[in-house]
Structure 1
């Protein structure tokens, strides 16, 4: 931020908070405190980042007041000409940014994007052909018996996604999630020895299971994926290839992932969030080939209600920011910093899933410290280091307590952290983990939740963190009165 932009943003936020405080001062105070908390902690949650003031301010406008169900030029409400402009610009920037044939920017979140994509694929691959076979063009003409048969067809399709403990996401067929209830689902994992995707084993499972949808992508897999191989496997079994790139969209946009590591040229449908490594507002979007575009475009009313027009506007701003050389430099630094963070752990004898990383995240196996992920997460939070616990492959502690913590570099890279800073971050985390012991239950047995952090460690780590944070301020020049 230039000095003039920082001064303008400061005035804007000061004025906004005064208006908010005139109605509910506690909300204004919580907002101020949130900025202070984020400025004063080492944020290493891989799914979080810091959006620019331009993106944040775009969301606080009267576009929030508009209902705009439908699509550009075809709304169910009048007076949506400006929303049409916003949505068109957001989609245009997304297409150009990722080199996609089609972009849909209405999903409110990554889960909404995945649900919309699933139902769009079902509509394209199952519903459309089924209606054609029974000779019906208007779905309202179906008899109840026809509907019963169609529901049976739609509800019996197969989905193959990455298992949660291998690094997949809840929406990739996890049974408690709606995706695991919508589909007859199966999961692929990683090689037990390396933690890496075994494409031959995946191919064999796909040939046996024969899914309608093959889902690629991850939320906690610290390596890149070969999407050309994923495409080959999908083609061999007649599956639609859907890629969830929510975590690494910024690395695709920033040209860090190119060639066979860029999912857009290979996938039929790509889903994503607009925050995380992409550094935009919280929201989702979908990219697709022209073949799938008409079905995806039915997201509203198929899955979604009225789009969040103010967030679509912020997506347009974020996509425009990501189309710059500055963003490409940022994305490369995110990946480089993850490498430095991993190296910092490895030289301090800390176990990493897959032995390292080549994307934006590092997955630490904390079991060698005698801790669960929940204990490690809590102890680190006491020391001002914000992480999240995460499963590791074949995790004996399950998805709640876990045996790992997931760390991401996008947020601190936004603040200006580089190689030296991330080496220090690894040192501080190891300091906390080495000085944390499991607690005991009320019955006197070992606890998976409680912990004991040695005296003085939290203060020591917070003091060292403060030096790093003060040297790399969040929203430099933005001051509130």
Structure 2
């Protein structure tokens, strides 16, 4: 029997040889990203430099605790990595390190939010966040009610451990109903009010939020996950003047890796120790230092003039898309957009967002079903959410987004024809998509259009699958 010492060392074998099956799946995903139109508002294409950090030996290291106060040894380099990320994070948003601190260890945005709640609230404290059907996020608190079962269900952990009362957008205008928020906060007396959402196409009135919070003795938090890149470049209002705590993801409009950050005021309330201890040891284990390094690397890019121009173009492209769809006779929630996303109300066309999402998938356009103003349930949303960050990263400009709007129009018209034949059931509708010749024609043109633009993060010429029409069926 071969001894362990004599066994072949496998730690330097590339993935292609070590695990051909996984290598092939990754190559298929590269192909999909390259030949598709990525319009999911929460997605983006990060850089090769960020990916190099994610695939670095930093993934090997345990580093529980904070820089210079770790529970393991061997963190002298890791401490420098994390401190560099903290420094760049504060600089990205123009924050005075004497007045603001930041924890860069959250694995993503949802853990970041829950760490804030754990740090600053007691179980069953009251919170108010934007309602999910109005464009809020699950971590801001959400309940559903089943008439059949006669029960209320807390959908997110936020609503399991805290009492949440949502505020909403005005169903006619699509803008946040600040009067409702003011009135309900006066009755509910929340301990925390949360600004921010995942599907709100307008900017935020932080001064109004602060006024309402102060009138009711509430803390004010902003979850700027979607617009963090736009905030960093001054293309959206800054929440830092008014808020006590600001959380964010790092991969959406910021264009970094998937991770999270928590910014907190440094004052007599002691947020720093409470939030740091909530992240670890209360909720997380060892921080993912390869992620933290990748965030730091992206924050260096965020500070460049080029990223400012990128953020400006994101807004221009979202507006161009919204304007083109409106010119084609479609209904855009709130009448347009001020940021990176567009909410398209499909109720006038009598098709659900779920069906339209599947029709877009059939032609290599990715977007997501989403509630629009007037919807009551997130299960059967009446529209779709469309975002500009990812394709702007691929160097697309206003005229390209107008062409995308034309593709979206063609897909909708084809989907309506299919729905007439398939009937109301989404299962029958989805089956009919697979053989529709009109959708196949649109798909070929989408693939040709998408592959004419550069692809960040990896070299197309070295991909296993370089056919714009995708990998062979047998792959």
Q: TM-score, normalised by structure 2?
A: 0.87
TM-fit CA distance, 1:294: 2.1
Tell me the residue number matched to 1:139: none
Please say if residues 369 and 434 of structure 1, whose CA atoms lie closer than 8 Å, have aligned partners that are also in contact.
Answer: no
TM-fit CA distance, 1:477: 5.5
Please say if residues 353 and 380 of structure 2, whose CA atoms lie closer than 8 Å, have aligned partners that are also in contact.
Answer: yes
The alignment status of 1:331 with 2:308, answered yes or no, reads no
TM-fit CA distance, 1:460: 2.7
- SS where residue 479 of structure 1 aligns? helix
Q: What whole-Å deviation, never above 9, does each CA across 1:48-80 have from its counterpart, x for those lacking one?
A: 000000001111111111111111111111111
Q: What whole-Å deviation, never above 9, does each CA across 1:202-251 have from its counterpart, x for those lacking one?
A: 11111111100000001001111111111111111111101100000010
CA RMSD across the alignment = 2.0
Q: What whole-Å deviation, never above 9, does each CA across 1:436-461 have from its counterpart, x for those lacking one?
A: 138789xx972245424593322332
The alignment status of 1:96 with 2:65, answered yes or no, reads no
1:470 corresponds to which of 423, 447, 451: 451
1:226 corresponds to which of 205, 215, 223: 205
- SS where residue 297 of structure 1 aligns? helix
- SS where residue 222 of structure 2 aligns? strand
The alignment status of 1:480 with 2:455, answered yes or no, reads no
Please say if residues 395 and 402 of structure 1, whose CA atoms lie closer than 8 Å, have aligned partners that are also in contact.
Answer: yes
Once the two structures are superposed, the pairs formed by residues 44-443 of structure 1 within 5 Å of their partners are 44-100=39-95, 101-122=100-121, 154-174=122-142, 175-257=154-236, 261-291=237-267, 292-298=271-277, 299-395=279-375, 398-437=377-416
* CA 1:329–1:315: 2 relative to 1, 3 Å: same
- SS where residue 316 of structure 1 aligns? helix
- The 4+ residue runs of structure 1 with deviation greater than 6 A are 438-441
Please say if residues 279 and 318 of structure 1, whose CA atoms lie closer than 8 Å, have aligned partners that are also in contact.
Answer: yes
Please say if residues 81 and 292 of structure 2, whose CA atoms lie closer than 8 Å, have aligned partners that are also in contact.
Answer: yes
Count of aligned positions: 429
Please say if residues 414 and 439 of structure 2, whose CA atoms lie closer than 8 Å, have aligned partners that are also in contact.
Answer: no
Q: What whole-Å deviation, never above 9, does each CA across 1:370-426 have from its counterpart, x for those lacking one?
A: 211110000011011111111123325x32231111100000000011110001101
1:446 corresponds to which of 411, 415, 424: 424
- SS where residue 276 of structure 1 aligns? coil
TM-fit CA distance, 1:304: 1.4
Q: Could you tell which deviates more after superposition, 289-298 or 108-117?
A: 289-298
Please say if residues 185 and 216 of structure 2, whose CA atoms lie closer than 8 Å, have aligned partners that are also in contact.
Answer: yes
Tell me the residue number matched to 1:457: 438
Please say if residues 368 and 385 of structure 2, whose CA atoms lie closer than 8 Å, have aligned partners that are also in contact.
Answer: yes
Tell me the residue number matched to 2:32: 37
* CA 1:314–1:188: 2 relative to 1, 3 Å: same
* CA 1:56–1:17: 2 relative to 1, 3 Å: farther
Please say if residues 86 and 312 of structure 1, whose CA atoms lie closer than 8 Å, have aligned partners that are also in contact.
Answer: yes
* CA 1:277–1:176: 2 relative to 1, 3 Å: same
TM-fit CA distance, 1:36: 1.0
Please say if residues 375 and 449 of structure 1, whose CA atoms lie closer than 8 Å, have aligned partners that are also in contact.
Answer: no
In 2, distance between residues paired with 1:302 and 1:365?
42
In 2, distance between residues paired with 1:440 and 1:326?
45
TM-fit CA distance, 1:463: 3.1
In 2, distance between residues paired with 1:348 and 1:230?
36
- SS where residue 401 of structure 1 aligns? coil
